[in-house]
Structure 1
Amino acid sequence: MNKEALKKKLFTEIYDTHWLKLYLHLLKMLDDEDDAKDVVQEVFASLWNNFDAISIHTSFTSYLYSSVRNRAINYLAHKKVVISYEKAEELRDVNFSNAPDIFLIEKELAFQINSEIDNLPPKMAAIFKKSRLENKSYREIAEELDIAENTVKKQISRALHLLRQKFIHIKYYLFFL
């Protein structure tokens, strides 16, 4: 019997012996038949694909149960992220449908922010624009303007402080939008 046929025979024996036990174990964890089937199938697919490379230091049954449990944990974590994303999308859709003028508000807010940035002292405005609009690092800005990196940091901090003071009322308005 060649190596591939032996691998197939061994894998089939493992699959037939353990699939149902692993499925029932996962069904208790996931409380969903399709999810439990999917996770068990993923474990067996991974086992088949990595059959020659797997190094097991415990009993094979322990290895399979650990693999299934870890996959289930990863699956649940991924599912939680997906559900959270879907809820955020639904909320975004509801907010946009309830506020058809949101784009006008956004445009006006951007205009006000740019206007306030332009009203900053000239050197501060230049440093702030290089940092926030051009995405330059403090070091790049300092080298370009031939000033200390600490000066750049202080100027940006001061600009943010001034802008926050100008727009403190906006965050309360946006909260209720």
Structure 2
Amino acid sequence: MTEQEVRRYLRQMKEEDSERAFHGFYDLCYDRLFRIACYYVKHEEWAQEIVLDVFMRLWEQRTRLPEVNNIEDYCFILTKNAALNYLEKENRRTTRSAGPLPETNDETESPEEILISEELFARYVKALDRLPERCREVFIRVREEKQSYLQVAEAMGISMNTVDAQLQKAVSRLKEALLDK
């Protein structure tokens, strides 16, 4: 996601009330926001619902979006908060129907650990978005979707050596981006 593209879409959404610009913005940002939602809720169906809700809010706020300084962080926070709210509602719903509360785990993470892991995840998502398209696709298929090199090679129409090279490139760039800050 490039800043110039996003800014252009946001301006068109505000000035022209352009649904086409909104669709372009959606296409540019959906995968990233979906990964963020999935990270928090761990269910693809829930994540899809959350991201659609986030985009509805973004459309409703389209006149104010161009003034947002860092739209990437703004979208990340919107998605994170929507995911956490969704989890809270789901927990309330299951608590009411499940009866007694589950026992708490003494080994829960401290607020500081949670904040650090969230910041690290946000940096990971940004670094992943900055990878070249094929490199990113190979990485996601192999590391996140747990596909084999052969499956990825066949699905993308590339050799297994290319899959390996692209994966190594992705890992190297991600490591560099995460250790850089």
Give TM class, smaller chain: 0.3 to 0.5
User: Which structure has more RCO (C-alpha within 8 Å, separation ≥ 6)?
Assistant: 2
Give the structure-1-normalised TM-score.
0.44
Larger radius of gyration: 1
